[in-house]
Structure 1
Amino acid sequence: MLMCYDKKECFGKKESIAMRNYIARRFQTAQDSVMASAAAEKGAYSDLIDLSIGDTDFTTDERIIRAAMEDALAGHTHYTSPQGDPELIDEIRTYYKTAHNMDLAREQVFISASSCFGMELALMSILDPGDEVILFAPYFSPYKEQVELTGGVAVEVPCLEEEGFAINAQRLRAAITPRTKAMIVNNPCNPTGAAYDLQTYQTLAQVAEEFDLVVILDEIYTDYMFEEPFRPFRGLPGMAQRSITLNSFSKNYIMTGWRVGSIIAEPAVIDTIKRINENMVYSAPSVSQRAAIHALRLRSEIGDKYTGEYRRRVFYTAERINAIPKLSVREPQGTFYLFMNIKQTGLDSIAFCQKCVKEAHVAMVPGVAFGAAGEGYVRIACTTSEEKLGEAFDRIAALKF
């Protein structure tokens, strides 16, 4: 029985308990994500060095901001077409033709309010209840819940460090069942930094054709390939008809807060996505779409400035890690993340990150946040200056494990 002597306080507690009962059953037992729990510990230290956030420390190029502002002042503050601003759709088509010699029709391009939301739309457009989706683990942490929220079942296929975190075709084939509908491929990969070569893409294409699967490509770090040149999966023979490609302006153009991305797929999928989107947000933010137009037009002038800097930071940080006993990391291949091996410390990934926050005031993300295959690792985002990265690993090197 609830005992309460303050009527206002008592009413609040009763209301809270009652409202909790109305929460959908699938959320009633949900726990905070590992990433959310890690974030909650960071506020206690004024000198904390945060290596946990995949948000760039640069600001969007001023020319993009000013051009978008001028467009807003000129009247671009209304809904766009639910499919997206036609001008942005055409700029994306031009980019694919120029960069990859790939022809896209307008009906194959959709503008989404971020690639994260784009993933949700893509999954909703193809999944029936109980359909299985292959995730290559470690995987970007939202994937699993995104699959489950859209009625699917996530099936993890481990990618091992001793294999370069590459996709193992034998394990992939073993995970496929009659209910498998799709697989999600993130290239280059957050969190491992692995980049997939043409042979890997060809293997995935072969498996997709053999088992009649859809391949969802999360290709948002395409400018951060350090070894292999980036090739769109969609360009492989027969793959345009069975792929859904997600792109974003967040990382390549330093536009995380603008929340704008794109989806490339066949018209039947785009039409379905448009129908779903119209009943959720109707259209991506118009001003953000205008900013994306200007980003594409300035692409040749702004890209290398950022990617070159992040490449330097990632390789510098990898060198620092490999000089610390009991810690190691593979040579970076892509993204601005490193997936550091902590197994020799004897700590699990959550305990390791807690120790680093409390004793070194350095925040990272436990590897278990990226699936069971991520245990024994932590993710480092090299999204701060080289000076700060150096200080962070000076502090970590001083810890006793």
Structure 2
Amino acid sequence: MGDPDVTTDMTIIEKTFEDVKNGHTHYTDFYGDKELRQEICKYYEKQYSYSVAVDECMVTTSGCHAMWLVLESILDDGDEVIIHEPYFTPYPQQIELTRGVPVTLETYEEEEFQVNTERMEKLITNRTKAVIINTPNNPTGTCFSKKTLEAIATLAKKYDLLVIADDIYTLFSYSEPFLPITVLENMRERTITIGSFSKDYAMTGWRIGYVIAPDYIIKTMKDVNENNVFTAPSISQRAALHALRNREKIQPKILKEYKKRVMYAYERINKIKNMSVMTPRGSIYLFVNIKNTGMTCQEVTNLIFEEAHVLVLPGNAFGTCGEGYIRLAMTVGIEKMEEAFNRIERMNIFS
């Protein structure tokens, strides 16, 4: 699973519990702790030279909750949402839960799992409301190029679509700095950005995320959320505030550790018979090609579990075009990874 073994930095924990002792145990503003929302706005200004108003930001109870709130707020029954495949497993169900229709666009390793907008355009109908993009990507590990983002933006403007940017792994962009699609020309009015503290700050258990969007969408989300969880946990919101304020101290250590793990795994995989993987571009996952085994991804997953006692996920868990792949999560240290790869290497199908 994508739950890092790295514990939340003690700076965040200690400062948060000081806030708890000082009384931050109550409901916050329905849109989220104003101090935190202001800090998120400051972050986008400093990181991307992108201005965000406080009323264009809402704090949510995790990124997944943010996605549900967004879809519930923008979709009419029967509206279609395009998702690029392989995709984060909950996307289709999240769309269906809000009475929408998921439409999948396959991406391929030979195209570096980039979105092909010529194929995307053929999927657009008069019921298409939005496109979900996820870069750096779970599960493939790819990062969309500026050219890809610009092509998606062109389509969004041409067909008056919303773009839901699931920006969960922004820290883990190894080949070049992360570029949010919302900063592209004329995209702020049609982009809904979902952010999370889970991976970028090793805060999965705190369940805290946020949305940046036009103010009328934020207001609709707030109205929906009043009938759901009301507000995100006040304690977790304070933790997120301290994470942002101390990010220059906290994040380099996290990035260094995961980049080291990803590169170690990449080198090991490409030395194993019947396995291959693209050069890592981003995220904390590797999408490993096992087609040369002649077996299905589920068969390979089962065999690795039974013979090597290593748990991986079959690629088809992320959509049909994930067949022929397995996903590895870099959520354990090098020592455990070394043992895992040593066991896999001894298996008959990989030796």
TM class by smaller structure: over 0.9
Q: Distance in 2 between matches of 1:129 and 1:280?
A: 20
Give the CA deviation at 1:309.
1.0
Instruction: Spell out, residue by residue over 1:273-322, the C-alpha distance to the aligned partner (whole angstroms, 9 max, x if none).
Output: 00011110000000000000000010000111011110111011011111
Give the CA deviation at 1:373.
1.0
Q: Distance in 2 between matches of 1:278 and 1:76?
A: 20
Amino acid at match of 1:226: Y
Q: Distance in 2 between matches of 1:369 and 1:102?
A: 36
Q: Which residue pairs with 1:285 in the alignment?
A: 233
Q: Is the 8 A contact 1:240 1:265 kept in 2?
A: yes
SS in 1 for 2:192: strand
For 2:251, which of 278, 303, 311 is the aligned residue?
A: 303
SS in 1 for 2:35: helix
Q: Is the 8 A contact 1:221 1:252 kept in 2?
A: yes
Q: Which residue pairs with 1:55 in the alignment?
A: 3
Q: Is the 8 A contact 1:112 1:283 kept in 2?
A: yes
Runs of 4+ in 1 over 2 A off after TM superposition: none
Q: Which residue pairs with 1:274 in the alignment?
A: 222
The question of 1:364 aligning with 2:319 is answered no
Instruction: Spell out, residue by residue over 1:14-60, the C-alpha distance to the aligned partner (whole angstroms, 9 max, x if none).
Output: xxxxxxxxxxxxxxxxxxxxxxxxxxxxxxxxxxxxxxx10111100
Q: Which residue pairs with 2:335 in the alignment?
A: 387
Give the CA deviation at 1:126.
0.6
The question of 1:339 aligning with 2:291 is answered no
Q: Distance in 2 between matches of 1:103 and 1:179?
A: 31
Q: Distance in 1 between matches of 2:176 and 2:94?
A: 29
Amino acid at match of 1:378: I
Give the CA deviation at 1:228.
2.0
Q: Distance in 2 between matches of 1:228 and 1:59?
A: 26
SS in 2 for 1:380: strand
Q: TM-score, normalised by structure 1?
A: 0.86
For 2:189, which of 227, 241, 245 is the aligned residue?
A: 241
- Which structure has the larger Rg? 1
Aligned length: 349
Q: Is the 8 A contact 1:194 1:334 kept in 2?
A: yes
Q: Is the 8 A contact 1:197 1:228 kept in 2?
A: no
SS in 2 for 1:183: strand
Give the CA deviation at 1:122.
0.5
For 1:265, which of 202, 208, 213 is the aligned residue?
A: 213
SS in 1 for 2:348: coil
Q: Distance in 1 between matches of 2:66 and 2:123?
A: 25
Q: Which residue pairs with 2:65 in the alignment?
A: 117
The question of 1:127 aligning with 2:105 is answered no
SS in 2 for 1:215: strand
Unaligned runs of 5+ in 2: none
Give the CA deviation at 1:346.
1.5
For 2:263, which of 289, 297, 315 is the aligned residue?
A: 315
Q: Which residue pairs with 1:26 in the alignment?
A: none
Q: Distance in 2 between matches of 1:168 and 1:393?
A: 34
For 2:142, which of 194, 213, 222 is the aligned residue?
A: 194
Q: Distance in 2 between matches of 1:276 and 1:306?
A: 35
Judge which range, 199-208 or 346-355, deviates more: 346-355
Q: Which residue pairs with 1:13 in the alignment?
A: none
SS in 2 for 1:103: coil
Q: Distance in 2 between matches of 1:166 and 1:236?
A: 18
Q: Which residue pairs with 2:47 in the alignment?
A: 99
Instruction: Spell out, residue by residue over 1:179-211, the C-alpha distance to the aligned partner (whole angstroms, 9 max, x if none).
Output: 111010001000000001211111010000111
For 1:378, which of 326, 334, 350 is the aligned residue?
A: 326
> Could you say what the CA RMSD is over the residues aligned between the two structures, in angstroms?
0.7
Give the CA deviation at 1:178.
1.3
Q: Which residue pairs with 1:326 in the alignment?
A: 274
Q: Which residue pairs with 2:94 in the alignment?
A: 146
Amino acid at match of 1:248: S
SS in 2 for 1:328: coil
Q: Distance in 1 between matches of 2:188 and 2:114?
A: 23
Give the CA deviation at 1:176.
1.1
Q: Distance in 2 between matches of 1:194 and 1:345?
A: 23
SS in 2 for 1:363: coil
Give the CA deviation at 1:103.
1.1
Give the CA deviation at 1:348.
1.0
Give the CA deviation at 1:68.
0.8
SS in 1 for 2:137: coil
